[in-house]
Amino acid sequence: MARSRLTPEREAELYAAVLDLLREVGYDALTMDAIAARTRSSKATLYRQWGSKPELVAHAMRHNKPIKLVDVDTGSLRGDFHAVMAHTDDCQMEKDSALMRGLFHAVHDSPDLLQALRELLIEPELNGLAEILQRAVDRGEVAADNPALKYVTHMLVGAIVARQLIEDRSPDRDFLTSYFDAVILPALGV
Amino acid sequence: MARSRLTPEREAELYAAVLDLLREVGYDALTMDAIAARTRSSKATLYRQWGSKPELVAHAMRHNKPIKLVDVDTGSLRGDFHAVMAHTDDCQMEKDSALMRGLFHAVHDSPDLLQALRELLIEPELNGLAEILQRAVDRGEVAADNPALKYVTHMLVGAIVARQLIEDRSPDRDFLTSYFDAVILPALGV
């Protein structure tokens, strides 16, 4: 795979620069030229490694995630969620929320970006979440036929979007922990 | 109040024309000139009656709602929700979802629109929902200290947004009814 020619350090540096630029100018105004200049790469390299701007941005967003859901396995559903939260930083969450809002604004005009975010960011998260929930079912914490199992993502997305839309605030650890205990665990019968 | 000079029929006709134009050109390209031409009004009249484009659009959206939550009172929480759904039409919901997506895209660049939507659309809905929930508490259906009470909006917003984002589908009656029974009632201990 072409991407393996970069060292992990160089890749991390490049992704960080992409996100910095994205925060500065927004997705629409972000150009491969600007990324090439900022990262002292050639545009040819960028296109060879990532194919397109949406894919590069989605890879940068995925790299930026502080914790992979799939790495979490504490032995209980509440424990798994608290482990995710323990690795999350409120300031970082606020910055990431602003980035995500900008990107979900941009997908309105860029189906390619939506597709790249679905493939590289949303689906891996959904799979990680599905594994956490499957382990809870296997342990007998959650009934296999609990009808809320297929709506956990909807509940989580709602927490994040409604917090911003209605309360005009970014989600933070206290809020998400309270929501998880008040809504998600009871709906799952835990 | 200046607005009372229009007959209800004329007002309804005008709001319908605003929403038609909004679907055709989107919020950013919608002009008071175009609304005046389409509705055979003068721009001066529009500004006198509604003050601004964001307020006119938010009024039109509010008028368009097929049912006011606050009018619903069946004697049970599940009954109230089913009454709301019974007055909802899947085709209309799909058209409304597309409109709302367009508007929530537009608020990114128009804080005035966000404020008008909050005042005229979101807050009345939140108040209507709060009344439905308060009656459920008064009847003893939901414990007054149930921690999920303050998150019912978040759960609902999540259902609608995640349905679109993850499943790429508009919410419909079957989906919302299933979500209500699987998530919202159990979280509220009903």
Total count of domains within chain B: 2
Which residue of B146, B151, B156 is in closest CB contact with A179? B151
What is the pLDDT confidence band of residue A95, given thresholds at 50, 70 and 90? confident
Judgement on whether residues A36 and A70 belong to the same structural domain of the protein: no
Give the pLDDT confidence of A50-87 residue by residue, as tens digits: 999 999 999 999 988 766 676 789 999 999 999 888 88
Interface of B with A in 135-154 (CB under 8 A): 146-148, 150-151, 153-154
Does residue A60 sit in the same domain as residue A76?
A: no
Q: How far apart are CA A186 and CA A168, in angstroms?
A: 26
- Domain containing residue B73: CATH number: 1.10.357
Specify the residue for token string 């709906």.
A187
The two structure tokens encoding residue A36? 């090439």
Same domain, A87 and A167: yes
Last residue within a domain, chosen from A25, A49, A64? A64
What CATH number corresponds to the domain at position A87? 1.10.357.10
Residue of B122, B151, B157 lying closest to A182 (CB–CB) = B151
> Of B157, B160, B178, which to mutate for an interface test with A (greatest number of A Cβ within 10 Å)?
B157
Structure tokens of A86? 């323990």
Q: How far is CA A158 from the centre of its chain?
A: 15
Contact check, Cβ <8 Å, B158/A159: yes
Which domain CATH number covers B38? 1.10.10.60
Q: Which of A64, A82, A100 is the last residue of a domain?
A: A64
Give yes or no: residues A76 and A47 share one domain.
no
- Same domain membership, residue B112 and residue B50: no
State the pLDDT confidence band at B190, using cuts at 50, 70 and 90: very high
- Nearby residues of B138 by Cβ (< 8 Å), 6 or more positions away: none
Mutation site, B101, B154, B155, B166, interface A, largest A CB count within 10 A: B154
Q: Which of B147, B155, B178 sits opposite A158 (nearest CB)?
A: B155
d(CA A85, CA B62): 38
Chain B CB contacts of A122 under 8 Å are 165-166
- A-chain residues within 8 Å CB-CB of B162? 153-154, 156-158
Q: Contact A187/B183, CB-based, under 8 Å? A: yes
Structure tokens at B103: 């508007």
- Reported as a single tens digit per residue, the pLDDT across A13-51 is 999 999 999 999 999 999 999 999 999 999 999 999 999
Pair A34, A73 in one domain:
no
Mean pLDDT (whole number) for B59-66: 85
Look at residues A45, A64, A83 and tell me which one is the last residue of a structural domain: A64
Same domain, B50 and B89: no
Q: Are residues B165 and B182 in the same domain?
A: yes
User: In percent, how much of chain A has pLDDT > 70?
Assistant: 96
Residues A84 and A175 reside in one and the same domain = yes
Question: Which candidate from B151, B159, B181 shows the least CB-CB separation from A183?
Answer: B151
Closest chain A CA to residue B153: A162
Q: Out of B101, B126, B183, name the one closest to residue A148 (CB).
A: B183
Q: What is the pLDDT of residues B167-181, one digit of tens each?
A: 888 889 999 999 999
Same domain, A138 and A156: yes
Residues B88, B50 share a domain: no
Summary mean pLDDT of chain B:
90
Q: Are residues B51 and B144 in the same domain?
A: no
DSSP assignment of chain B: -GGGGS-HHHHHHHHHHHHHHHHHH-TTT--HHHHHHHHT--HHHHHHHHSSHHHHHHHHHHHH-SS-GGG---SSHHHHHHHHHHT--HHHHHHHHHHHHHHHHHTTT-HHHHHHHIIIIIHHHHHHHHHHHHHHHHTTSS-TT-TTGGGHHHHHHHHHHHHHHHH-----HHHHHHHIIIIIHHHTT-
Interface membership of A159 toward B (CB under 8 Å) = yes
Residues spanned by the domain of B188: 65-190
- Whole-complex ipTM: 0.81
Residue B69 burial (CB count, 10 A): 19
Q: Which two structure tokens, joined as six digits, stand for A50?
A: 């990532």
